[in-house]
Structure 1
Amino acid sequence: MELRTYVAALRKLWWAIVLVTVVGAGTGAYLAYRQTPMYATTVTFFATTQTTSASSSSAFAGDQFAQQRVNTYVYLLSSDRLARLVIAASKVDLSVEKVESSISGASQLNTVLLTATVTDSVPSRSEAVADALATQFPALVNTIESANGTRTALVHLDVVDGPHLNPKPVSPRTKLYIALGTLIGLAIGVIVALLRELLDTTVRSVHGLSTLTDVPVLGVINSDSATKRSPLIVQAGSQSVRAEMFRQLRTSLQFVDVDQPASVIVVTSSVEKEGKSTTAANLAIAFADAGRRALLIDADLRRPKIADYLGLEGAVGLTNVLANQVDVDVVLQTWGASGLTVLVSGSIPPNPSELLGSQHMVDLTADLRTKFDVIIIDTPPLLPVTDAAVAATFADGAVIVVKHGKTKRSMVSRSVHSLRAVDARILGTVLNFAPTKGADAQRGYGPYGYASAATIDEAGAEPRTRRRSASRTKSSDRTGESDAPKQAWAGPRTEAGEADSSSDAAPDNSGPDGPVTGTEERAARA
């Protein structure tokens, strides 16, 4: 993994890192709160030795002897004998073991100073034990040092400082607990974020998808809350960001290989629910809006969706044509004001792969090439069934739709391998459902982006479509004529190519606000 990958992982889960850090700090504070406060009283002793000579060498030797003795007295502070003497003198209600554990000592380097510390949860008891210690410890040392029969002890201890009671608790150290908890929480949060990134096997970036497949990423399709309600770009508005993304995908396909332009394009995915059908439908709409003679074929003969998305009759379609039950010109349907032609799937057959791989399908595709500029074929996913690979063999190329954060890298690799195994041409991939916010946000148009219609409205600018509508209204008022939109769906075509006026007119599905003609939409984009 590169450094930017680690940084992106931390940015993506920054909230989790902060949360774990706060929890760690809170845990440290709670542990400190649960601890019993301890108070300390200190007393400092000075050790002197008896010298028989006033010479400097004798004084130096005595000082060295006193330093050695002081180091020994540190351990003497924790003795049972001293604890019993302190208990007897202070009258405290403590056991010998408690008094032993409450007394500690330390000697400063190269000095004859010895500091004794008495720690207790009760300040007055700590001070009482320290007072007794200040008198009993020098007496004990004097007794031990004169036990060899001498009248005068070789070392004598004098109290030079204390006893002093610290009014503030010496433990727990709340700030230290909080600091340690914060550091531990931060470390755990960072480790969890990095592990999650390392264990995440899904596709989450354009760079990762391009590196994985070794084919170009033709487009990035963002997703928002309105995508499920309005999957088609005409429903979201021709000037929406999502519509611009499909226009960019259309442009990428037109220039992916200028020497071998693709006119028959298979749109597929690795598994279901990656948005291949909506991508195919919106791509076909984008080609039709550009003035191209576009045909959308629903070749997903297992779970067809195109008829439902466009609101068309799907009982008769591709399968019936391949079964020689009806002529193709009869079942072709026109959708939308831009003149998009749709061939729905028809009846669900028992042998979808055989139908798509039949010579009749190859001949039908060759015949439709002469009538349309571009043909978009929606096919089933690659991994569950072989339909898409079969269709890609007689098409000019295939486009693989990959769902951001859901499709695993291994699935994409297997899909690419299945297409290359049949010598199919892979035009590129499309990263679908990419987030618009957060660390994983993908930009389909470089660093500048596009403003949505809502953003323009908030900025106080009047949208171009409203000005155009207002001008048409004024023109209608002057002429007395209404500028009513044309009917988008004209029914199945007859063999002569004319619309069957006797058929029931289907509702206009070009958008919630009615259709917009191709001329008007192209003028709006200009």
Structure 2
Amino acid sequence: MNLRDYLRIARRNWIVVAACALAGLLTGGSVSILTTPTYTAETQLFVAIQSSGSVQELQQGNTFSQARVQSYVRTVQTPVVLQPVIDALGLPLTSGELAKKVAATTDLNTVLINVSVSDSSPAQAAAIAEAVANSLVKAVDSLEKPKVGGSSPVSLSIITPATAPLVPSAPNTRVDLVLGLIVGLALGIGAAVLRTALDNRIRGEADLRRVTEAPLLGGISFDQDATRKPLLTQAAPQSPRAESFRQLRTNLQFANVSGKAKTVLLTSSLPGEGKSTTATNLAIALAQAGQTVCLVDADLRRPMIGEYLGLERGAGLTTALVGSADIADLLQQWGDNELFVLTSGQIPPNPSELLGSSEMKRLLLRLEQSFDAVIIDAPPLLPVTDAAVLSQHVGGVVLVVGAQKTRHQDLEKSLNALAMVGSNLLGVVLNRLPLKGPDAYTYSYYSADHSKSSEKSRLTSKTPKEYITVSPLADFPESDFDRTLLGSGEERARSFPNHRFGQL
């Protein structure tokens, strides 16, 4: 992964990262508050050789004292030094317990010994440090004194007496907070990377590209009101959702630049990805662009288009396929544009056989001769085989992918199912994308005030009819619209003859 991928992971999981960072910050603060303050008192001793000889002898003595300093540092934590301190101060500690509070160090190539003592009481820390320094002076003098008599060649002197510290040395609140923040951020980033590695859902275009290089025809932004108002005509004209379908309409025209895919089938991998609303709104968008469009509800298991558009679905596609009525008698016009809808009809016991029949193929050919575009809403690919069967009779297939719902393996299976039957995949539509964040696909060109005023104007204006159910086309008088849509009387009769389709 490159830097951009890590930034995308951080933006997707910023709540997790922020929560872990805040938890680390709170933990660091809690540790500082709950930790008993500790005070550290320090003292410093100088090691000297008692000699007044030549310069060479002084040099040898200095080297000797530097070599002995390391031994004196280790002597500080021994009972020889600490036990007299315990006895002098009356401490309720053993030499081993006191050794944990005492530390001695020395700087390289020096004859200085630094002694520090930590205690919860600043006065007691200073008293112990002073007592340890005095005890060390006496212990070294006793240890270095020759057995044959005489004075010790080494002398220790206290050059920095211990004083009671004014501020505690621990806890260091600033250090604890910074450390907690760093640890929390590290844990948050680790959790975000792990979550992303284990998450196999399609959340945006970057995830889509890991599965397929199929053209991305458009991204439909998520709208909380889409459940109550799923139609394009119910959204504000300048809303991101409305613009998404107009962009999908434009990209689909470029994907079908040769014009061979006059009939487009929309399907998805699983139910609930928004294929029916996408097909419906795409048909509306094409009709708004001035095309004559036929929307066919070929989901013969869970038909939804009739419910969305408020049309009667008792007679429709299945009625025409079994020969009970002519298709010209079943088309219903919707809205003010040239959009005609063929609802599903009664749900049959054999949907796959009906959709794969020769009657279905002939029906689609008739619709292609009379309309500029035919949009078909088909069942999802993975639960049933209806869409794969029907895809062989259409010019192209558009696969709707529900963001944050479809998994990588589901999309791969759907693409393999379409490839196995030789379908012409025009592209993919990402549905339910967020308006903001790393996976957002839409951009707003209008200001917020303009969008609000447009929405207010749309709501306060007179509401137009949402749909119009018309009589069968066979009963229409010959008009300019009929000649434009269906051709002359002779062409119309050839496209929609009065005889009924053959029985299956």
TM score, norm. by length of structure 2: 0.88
Change (3 A) 1:466 1:115: closer
Q: Take 2:363 and 2:292, find their aligned partners in 1: how far apart are those partners?
A: 17
What SS class does the counterpart of residue 255 from structure 1 fall into?
helix
d(CA) in 2 for partners of 1:348, 1:195? 46
Q: Which aligned pairs between 1:295-374 and structure 2 lie closer than 5 A? A: 295-374=294-373
Could you say what secondary structure the match of 2:226 adopts? coil
Question: Counterpart in 2 of 1:119?
Answer: 118
Change (3 A) 1:2 1:110: closer
* Contact 1:255–1:261 (Cα < 8 Å) also in 2: no
Query: Is 1:436 paired with 2:435?
Result: yes
| Cα drift, residue 3 of structure 1 | 2.7
Mapped partners of 1:205, 1:485: distance in 2: 36
Query: Which residue of the partner structure matches residue 228 of structure 1?
Result: 227
Matches within 5 A, 1:361-400: 361-400=360-399
CA root-mean-square deviation: 2.6
How far residue 147 of structure 1 moved from its aligned partner, in angstroms, is 5.4
CA apart distance, 1:461: 8.6
Choose from 450, 463, 479 the match for 2:445.
450
Gap change, CA 1:488 and 1:10, over 3 Å in 2: closer
1:493 aligned onto 2:472: yes
Q: Secondary structure at the match of 2:161?
A: strand
- Distance change (3 Å), C-alpha of 1:158 and 1:207: closer
How many residues get paired? Answer: 478
Give the drift of 1:30: 1.5
CA distance in 2: counterparts of 1:115 and 1:215, whole angstroms:
72
Cα distance per residue 1:312-335 (max 9 Å; x no partner)? 111121112211222222222121
Which residue identity is paired with 1:248?
Answer: Q
Note the 1:23-422 alignment, pairs <5 A. Answer: 23-51=23-51, 54-146=53-145, 148-209=147-208, 212-422=211-421
1:165 partner amino acid: A
5+ residue gaps, structure 2, are 479-504
Residue identity opposite 1:57 in structure 2: Q
- The 3-state SS of whatever aligns with 1:219 is strand
Change (3 A) 1:220 1:487: closer
The 8 Å contact of residues 266 and 397 in structure 1, kept in 2 or not, is answered as yes
For 1:190, what is the secondary structure of its paired residue?
Answer: helix
Cα separation, partners in 2 of 1:411 and 1:163, compared to 1, 3 Å: same
Superposition deviation, residue 390 in structure 1 = 1.0
Q: 1:329–1:497: 8 Å Cα contact kept in structure 2?
A: no
Does residue 14 of structure 2 align to residue 6 of structure 1?
no
TM-fit CA distance, 1:208:
4.4
Indicate if the aligned counterparts of 1:204 and 1:440 stay in contact, CA closer than 8 A: yes
Secondary structure (helix, strand or coil) at the match of 1:278 reads: helix
- Residues 92 and 125 in structure 1, CA contact (< 8 A), matched pair in contact too: no
What's the CA shift for 1:239?
4.5
The alpha-carbon deviation at position 118 of structure 1 amounts to: 2.0
**CA distances 1:64-108 after superposition (whole Å, capped 9, x unpaired):** 222222211111111112222112222333333222222221122
Q: Which residue identity is paired with 1:151?
A: G
- Write the distance in 2 (CA, Å) between the matches of 1:416 and 1:159: 84
Assess if the C-alpha contact under 8 Å between 1:254 and 1:262 holds in 2: no
Contact 1:216 1:428 in 2 (8 A): yes
Going from structure 1 to structure 2, the CA distance change for 1:206 and 1:85 (only over 3 Å counts) comes to closer
For structure 1, which segment, 69-78 or 81-90, has the greater mean C-alpha deviation from structure 2 after superposition?
A: 81-90
Given that 1:296 and 1:343 are in contact with CA atoms closer than 8 Å, whether structure 2 keeps it comes out as yes
Letter in 1 for 2:212: T
TM score, norm. by length of structure 1: 0.85
Show the 5 A alignment for 1:484-523: 488-493=467-472, 495-497=474-476
Q: Which moved more, 1:310-319 or 1:320-329?
A: 320-329
> More displaced, 233-242 or 63-72?
233-242
Contact in 1 for aligned 2:249/2:285 (Cα 8 Å): yes
C-alpha contact (below 8 Å) 2:279/2:377 kept by paired residues:
yes
Determine the C-alpha separation between the residues in 1 that align with 2:206 and 2:181: 35
- 2:497 equivalent in structure 1: none
